[in-house]
Amino acid sequence: MWNYVHNYYPGSVVFDAQISNLDRAVLLDFYRSATEVLFYSSSMESRSASVQWEHQFSKNWKARAAYRIQDVRGMYFGIWDAVPYVSPRRAMLHAEYQFRQKWFANATWQHYAGMHLPPGPGGVVRSLSPDFALVHGHVRREFPWGDAYIGVENALNVRQAEPIAGVVDHLNNHQFLGADDPGFVSNFDATRVWGPIFGRMVYLGINLALMGSDD
């Protein structure tokens, strides 16, 4: 493991690199069979490197950016191969701003590179998931009695098109298949989830500051 931190006023830069080798690890093997998941003890290795930059532009505004690459591999029956569902590259941008003294806002952008996907039932072959990005936002207002906030997660409404395979008949007006349908029985697969299942979510709330008694 190697770590380097460079501080400057008013910010910092952090570099980090790590190599891990595990002689005995519980490995989930999605590659061996399209209809089964095997569990066994095997070797794994992980290599990663990241850089993070943070800067205070003014009293009211600061930002942070980060980038990470990682290569995680496992020994599958004597062959080193990529561990599925691990994004090899991730990026993040985050900004916070305070205005009018009692208003606070922040926004975050996250990018995920395509992940290795194993084969699945119904002739689904091994592939890479598409890249995708998520955007979140949050606004908060302070009051004498506490604060109120509103925010949004997954503002771009990114969703995996069909996280559970084998439940929709694409040849018959996209109708849902029954549990006893041959297509459902032979093609059902809920393990190939690589991205968000739910879309945009908006939330709001309040935090109350309760004053305790001196008695």
Question: Residue 161: which pLDDT band, with cuts at 50, 70 and 90?
Answer: confident
- What is the set of domains in the chain, with CATH numbers? 2-208 (2.40.170.20)
φ, ψ for residue 89, nearest 5 deg: -140, 130
Q: Residue 186's pLDDT is what? A: 66
pLDDT tens digits along 137-147:
999 999 999 99
Question: Residue 154: which pLDDT band, with cuts at 50, 70 and 90?
Answer: very high
pLDDT at 199 over 90: yes
DSSP string, 6-48: EEETTEEEEEEEEEEEEEEEEEEE-SS-SS--EEEEEEEEEEE
Q: Residue 49's pLDDT is what? A: 97
Q: Residue 183's pLDDT is what? A: 59
108 vs 53: CA distance, rounded Å? 14
pLDDT average, residue stretch 48-64: 96
Give me the chain's average pLDDT, please. 89
Question: Residue 213: which pLDDT band, with cuts at 50, 70 and 90?
Answer: very low
pLDDT average, residue stretch 182-187: 63
pLDDT tens digits along 71-109:
999 999 889 999 999 999 999 999 999 998 899 999 999
pLDDT average, residue stretch 2-7: 89
Residues whose CB falls within 8 Å of the CB of residue 181, separated by 6 or more in sequence, listed in order? 169
Q: Residue 180's pLDDT is what? A: 63
The DSSP symbol for 158 reads: -
